[in-house]
Every structure is written in structure tokens, then in C-alpha cells.
Structure 1
Amino acid sequence: MTAAPPGGGRLRIVAIADTDSYVKWSAALIGGATDRWDATLLVLETPLVVSEAQRAAALSGSGLAPDRVERIEYAALSARLRELRPDAVLVAARGPLVRVLARDVAAMRPRPVIMTGLPGISIPATRKALVYRTQCDLFVVHSRRELRDFTALSERTGFGARFALATLPFARGAAHGAAGTAGEQTGSDLVFAAQARVPATRADRLRVARMLVRAAEADPSRRVVVKLRAAEGEQQTHVEHDGYPELLSTLGALPPNLVTSTSPMNVALATAEGLVTVSSTAAIEAIARGLPVIALDTFGVSRALINETLADAGLLGSEEDVVARRLRHPASSWLDDNYFHAPDADDWEQATAELIARRRAGELAPRPALARRGGALRDAWERRVALGRSDTSASGAFAYAIGLPVRAVVRSVQRARRTLVPRVRAEHAR
């Protein structure tokens, strides 16, 4: 539904993001509505902020013009928001940073509508996602299942969050026919979508690297492309240990048809026969293009692997399936409930416009921050932890100087309790 601003004209939305995945997601979300919204993206300087190359990749195909994107230091953010006078602010960041930025935006007068969301597959719904975003007026989700699960969690935990549905931007405008059906196969690359945290251990990641070598050796005439999230020295939303370039370098001479790429995912998929991943949202991008997928089953199915919804789609495959390129399409019954609902089911624009109208009428009560101990000192500590050296305030430095040793003591006590409590219980059980 098209947003209808009171009094005519376009509603003004400003997104704030810093890392690669959130810049890509927020740019695509608001970039798809620029004919109806006056949209701006502020890329916030933090220790994990995108490089210029990552920013260009994130904006590729987003629909958001480069001149509507600007980098900004945290110290200048509040003043810039006052200049832009947004009707709504989309806080697109990791949870700890959302909590800090939502608190800042909530203090603006007049207060904009505060929106938030997650940049990909968000099943399972987690309490932590709600805790960090408690001051946000609207939480954007991307599937009927996410909407159902997050709503149930919010009601069960008493957070009372409001949710709205938006087609996952990367699934919008499928390049090849209907999502989930075989499109005209024009590419031959087997693209592997790397993830920073999945799988987690070096041994498991090395196993994946060996599988990719075997897949390349199985057919020297076709490429295996390891699609990386960042080039060396660049940051990601999640810190990556044991990156694939380093792991592959330990395996000796590599097949010449095994290559790495930091191109935008839409570019990598343009020459793909199919995609392999553990649980990357790139699977949704591939399905939207009509490309087949394998969700690697080597490490099982679990909440920690974020692959439950891909398992439900019937996309699980073994390492041998990958080597033989036995790719698959999702079950048709899975699509509507999982990221491929009809476009007219999307209601995030209408929900945002309604909240803006209520705000202008003085009928939108601000959502309070989550109650916790510490007051202003706690706020300063959280700001410094979320922003790192990008927080140049004296209060942040003071809170960090005090809080760092206190946190070390608390963590030592918690570790001791985890060790001692089982021992005490065992003694009592004897």
C-alpha cells in the first residue's frame, strides 16, 4: 500500500546504518520506495563501518541514488537529523547500537517515528532482538512466519512491539520468472555464500574449504566461486575468524577454477548455476532469481545455525550433493510463508504512514526504554561499547574506564558460578 502523507508531499525517512549487511538492507528497503518517500541513508562511522568498496557493493541495485547517502560521525548525527527533520528514522544496526541510537532519536523534538528491522533470515525469533529494540515504534520483518513468530514472542514476553511486513529487499524483482521455479539457466558458476559465524569452529570451516576444493576438482570446466563478505582489512557485521582465503591457503595448490570474489551478490549470481550456503540470506536472493540452492547439512539443523527455515524448504544437501552439483528448488508450499508472499501483503509503508499521522496528531505515545540500573552512567557505558572510539564524549570515556574492570570482575564471578554450582550439586547428590 502506498504511504499517503497528511497534507500532501512525500514523507521523509532517514535510515542510519554502519555495517555491510545493514547498509545493504536499509538501502534496498528505502531505495525501493523512493518514488513515494524522500529517503536518505546516513552511514555512521563506527569500528565496523563499511569501506568505500563495501558501500558501493551494498548500494548496487538498491534503487537508492549515491547522492542520497552520506557518511557521518556520531558527534554530528543529532544535528544532521535535526536538519533533515525526518518523519521516520530507520535504525538499521546491530542490537547494542540500535539501543543507543533509538534513545538518541527518542529525545528529538519533534520525535520521529522510530523503525528498525533485521537484514535477513530472522528465524528463530529471539528475545534479545526485542530487548535491544524496545524503544522502536515499528519492527519490520520479512515473512509471514517471522511476523507470526515475533508477534507471539512479543506477546509472551510482554514487550508489546508492533510489527509490519516487507518483502525482503533482495527477493524483490526476481530476475528469472517466478521464485522457487527453475529459471533459464545461463550461468555455470557454483557460488558459495560465506558467513562470518556459521559454521563457528575452525575445524568445521576447514571442512567446508576442502569440500569446495573437491567441487572444483570434480569439473575443471566450471568455476566454484567463494563469495566473500569483505576483502582483507574490511569489517563485517559479525567478526569473522578463520576466513576462507586463509583456510584455502593451507590446502596447498588450488584448482584454477576455484576463485574468491567480493563482488556484490547480485553480480555473483548473474553468472551462477546455483548457490551453496549453510544459512546465508543469499539463498533467498538465489531463489528469487529461480536459481537452485543447497543448504549444507553437514553440521545439522539448529537455531544456532539459523538454517531451520531452509531445512523446511527441502533445500538441505550433503557435501557429496555439492560436489556433484545436485542443486534443488524449494517446496512450493514453503514459499508464501517464507519470504515470497504476494507483494500486496506488504504493509510496512502504510504502517509507518499511520504512525506518522498519529505522531503529528499527538496521539503516538513514546515507547519507554527498558528499565535497568545505572542511569546516565549506564547509558554512557552502552554508547561507548556500541560505538567504540567513534564515541568521543568525556562521559563515554569515564564510563568505560570505570565499567571495563567492573565487567571483568562480574564475568569472573559468573564463570566461577558456572564451575562451582555443578560441583556443589554433585556433592549434595552423593
Structure 2
Amino acid sequence: MTARVLAVADSDSYLKWAAGLLDALPPGWTARTAVVRSPITPSADQIRAALNGTMTIEAEVLPARRLRRLLASYEPDVVLLACTGPVVEVLSGIILDRAGPRPVLVSGLPGISVPASERAWVFRSAADLFIVHSHREVDEFTGIARALGIRGTVGRARLPFLDPAPPRPLRDRVVFATQAKVPVALDERRRILLSLATLAGKRPDLRPVVKLRGRADEQQTHRELHHYELLWRDLVAEGKVRAGALTFDAGPMREHLAHAAGFVTVSSTAALEAIAARVPLLVLSDFGVNAEMINVVFEGSDCLGTLADLEVGAFRTPDRGWCAANYFHDPVDDDWTTHLSGLVAQARTGGLPAPTRLPYPGGARARRRARMRLEAPAAMEVISAVRQARQRAAGG
């Protein structure tokens, strides 16, 4: 059996995830990739970095109205909605409200999803297949689906970007992987930068690199209120750090890890990439280990450490048992392509069940705003910029 897949992403992290998944499609299947325009559309550099190391060579950026035409001309058997939850909900409606046979709808989450989120499932309730990445995540999201009456199947896939680049002879970088959402507080982010600067002073053999998801003028999946690069400039201006102590860079994470002697994050799926690349690491616990910090999954991993550990380069090696239970399961346990093939066969006989369509979280007003993000992204960018400026002013 062959099939056509259309992957639609809306941000750099989801695009990276989608491109990796497409590499694992059954032989003979073909795919096309697009980025739907919104206030978080990745830049050209971010798109190149997201596709690095995959077989996807291009991703056309297009508005939602052109996506409708692409659906009509390409006639995909499968649509992979690799987007943030509100965008998945809106695009699901556009696809399901079209006349004629519908494609199989697939969605999922591009990284660590512990604890499982009911809200994430509600946005994706129309999906026939919901892809996550560990035994624990499958169990938790399946339980949520049963409780909510969602018909979709939960499938397991090994995170698609865990194949590292070959290590380089010189491994002297300490890579700090930023996360837009955590920590939130300005002083906490400054503390991280100060500790990296301390490491640079104590360990001249190591070169700290702040790996950015986007430059200060680029968009990310999640809004970043206090950008690390701007905070560093403030610290330099205040005379608290030496200007050249840290390097700020973007580009593919796999290339940074190929040069890395150590890795640090507060919460990032890149920690799993570091484990796959056999780079010793630290997941910082100074700001809490809980669902809000998106790092509770690292309990029992032997990877948790502190800023004091970072300042002396005391990195960790993860527990093997934890790895097997969390994201590093045997590849034979992956079942998402089996589920997908079965759903495509069902669709061709008209046997797909009616999709579940739960009410939009936050109600009709929130849904209208989500549609506006797709249909008038420029206007929403202005509104978002004003809101961020007010938040910065309120935060001092």
C-alpha cells in the first residue's frame, strides 16, 4: 500500500518533529511539508535548522487560505497536523468541514509530555491518531482519551531527532538549551547566565554556548518574555560579566552536541538529544521539579543538578533504567506506523469513524482569536507585541 501525506507545521519545534516523523513513513509513501503562516512562523534560518538531518528538503510557508487549495490539489490520504493545539483545532475544522471523503487526521506532541495534559488532547480531539513518545505517555494519554470519550488512538513513536551527529574530535562546548516557557522570572534567568559565566572563569578548557531557539527578533513556539541574549547584554552593561564569556548561537542542536563536553537545561527535549549523543548533562532543579517547570519526568533519572554543579562542570550520566522507561524504549515497541496504515486502509473503504469534536477550550471567543491568528497573522503580531511590551513594563 502507498499513501500521500501532507504535513502542516506552524513553528520551528513542530516542523522539526514532523520532518523526523516523515522519515519513518512506510516504504513507497510520499510526503509534502508546509508551514501555515501565523504569528509564530519560523524564519528561513529556523526552517533550515529544523529540517537539518532529515530527508525533508523544503517546507513552503503559506497562508491558511492557500492550505485549502493545497488540500484540494494534493488530495492527501493523511494530514499530519504538527501544530500548537489551537491551530490544530482550527485546521481540523477546516479539513472536516470540506465536502467529500476526509483524510486520516494525525497530530501529537513534539517533545516531553509528562504529565499528560487533558488540554492537549481536547485541542486534538478530532485526530484519528495522536502520537507521543514513551510507554508512560501512551498510558497517560490513553487514560485521558477514555475519560473524555475521544475515539482517537494513541500511538508510540521514538522521538524522531534522537539520532546524533557524529562526534567531533574537539568537544569543548557546554551547551545550555534555553526554553521559552521556564523559568519565567527575570532574576532566575539572570542567575543561569551568571553561573555560566562563572563556569567560563573556572574552566577555561570549556566554552559555554547558549543555544537559542530563536534570536530576539525571531518567533518561537512559545512566547519568551525575557530573552537570554538581551539579558546578557544588560549584565555586560552593568559590569557583572565579561562580554566574551558566553557565546550565543542558533542552528541545529545536533551540530552543537557533536562538539559538546557537557549539556545543561532547565527543561528541554534537547536533554534527550544530549543523552542520545552520550553527552553528560544537568537538568537544573534550582527552580523546582514539578509540572510547572516541565521537568518532573527527570525525577529518578540521575540527571538533576544545581547551578552550583554547573559552575564547576559537574555533569551527570543518566540512569539506564530510567532511559528504558522514558523515551529510549526498544524501537520494536513503536506502533504509530502500524496504526496509521490501518487507518488509511479503513479510510479507503469509507470505514473511518466520525471524529470526536470537543468544545474549544475557553469557548467561542478563544476559538475566534485562534482563527484570527491564522487568517490575519500580521494584525495578531501587533497585538502580541503590545501585550509583551506591557508585560515587560509591569515586570520591571
Cα distance, 1:186 vs structure 2? 4.7
Cα distance in 2 between the residues matched to 1:258 and 1:32? 37
Give the TM-score of the pair, scaled to structure 1: 0.82
Checking the alignment, whether the CA contact within 8 Å between 1:100 and 1:386 is kept in structure 2 is: no
Residues paired across the two proteins, number: 375
The SS at the match of 1:21 is: helix
Q: 2:57 matched to which residue of 1?
A: 65
Q: 2:389 matched to which residue of 1?
A: none
Cα distance in 1 between the residues matched to 2:180 and 2:333? 32
Q: 2:313 aligns with which of 316, 325, 331?
A: 325
Is residue 161 from structure 1 mapped to residue 152 from structure 2 by the alignment? yes
Checking the alignment, whether the CA contact within 8 Å between 2:8 and 2:34 is kept in structure 1 is: yes
Cα distance in 2 between the residues matched to 1:156 and 1:322? 42
Cα distance in 2 between the residues matched to 1:290 and 1:23? 25
> Could you tell me the percent identity over the aligned residues?
38
Q: 1:307 aligns with which of 295, 300, 307?
A: 295
Is residue 357 from structure 1 mapped to residue 345 from structure 2 by the alignment? yes
Check 1:306–1:96 CA distance in 2 against 1; reply closer, same or farther (3 A cut).
same
Checking the alignment, whether the CA contact within 8 Å between 1:185 and 1:273 is kept in structure 2 is: no
Q: 2:371 matched to which residue of 1?
A: 384
Cα distance in 2 between the residues matched to 1:163 and 1:373? 21
Q: 2:195 aligns with which of 211, 230, 236?
A: 211
Is residue 134 from structure 1 mapped to residue 125 from structure 2 by the alignment? yes
Q: 1:201 aligns with which of 185, 188, 191?
A: 185
Checking the alignment, whether the CA contact within 8 Å between 1:221 and 1:257 is kept in structure 2 is: no
What amino acid is aligned across from residue 97 of structure 1 in structure 2?
Answer: V
CA RMSD, 1 decimal: 2.4
Cα distance, 1:207 vs structure 2? 1.3
What amino acid is aligned across from residue 157 of structure 2 in structure 1?
Answer: A
Q: 2:108 matched to which residue of 1?
A: 117
Cα distance, 1:290 vs structure 2? 1.1
Q: 2:15 matched to which residue of 1?
A: 23
Q: 1:53 aligns with which of 31, 45, 54?
A: 45
Checking the alignment, whether the CA contact within 8 Å between 2:133 and 2:157 is kept in structure 1 is: yes
Cα distance in 2 between the residues matched to 1:374 and 1:315? 37
CA-to-aligned-CA distance 1:112-149 (integer Å, 9 cap, x gap): 00000111101110110011011111100011111111
Cα distance, 1:382 vs structure 2? 4.6
Cα distance, 1:257 vs structure 2? 4.2
The SS at the match of 1:216 is: helix
What amino acid is aligned across from residue 190 of structure 1 in structure 2?
Answer: V
Check 1:360–1:314 CA distance in 2 against 1; reply closer, same or farther (3 A cut).
same
Check 1:294–1:379 CA distance in 2 against 1; reply closer, same or farther (3 A cut).
closer
Greater CA drift, 284-293 or 148-157 = 148-157
Cα distance, 1:329 vs structure 2? 1.4
The SS at the match of 2:8 is: strand
Checking the alignment, whether the CA contact within 8 Å between 1:47 and 1:390 is kept in structure 2 is: yes
Check 1:137–1:285 CA distance in 2 against 1; reply closer, same or farther (3 A cut).
same
Check 1:235–1:379 CA distance in 2 against 1; reply closer, same or farther (3 A cut).
closer
Q: 2:25 aligns with which of 23, 30, 33?
A: 33
Check 1:203–1:91 CA distance in 2 against 1; reply closer, same or farther (3 A cut).
same
The SS at the match of 2:325 is: coil
Is residue 234 from structure 1 mapped to residue 218 from structure 2 by the alignment? yes
Cα distance in 2 between the residues matched to 1:70 and 1:303? 35
Larger Rg: 1
CA-to-aligned-CA distance 1:26-70 (integer Å, 9 cap, x gap): 11111343744201111111111011111011111122123xx22
The SS at the match of 2:350 is: coil
Give the TM-score of the pair, scaled to structure 2: 0.89
Cα distance, 1:185 vs structure 2? 7.9
The SS at the match of 2:376 is: helix
Is residue 291 from structure 1 mapped to residue 279 from structure 2 by the alignment? yes
Give the alignment of 1:247-258 within 5 angstroms.
247-252=231-236, 253-254=241-242, 256-258=244-246
Q: 1:400 matched to which residue of 2?
A: none
Check 1:170–1:372 CA distance in 2 against 1; reply closer, same or farther (3 A cut).
closer
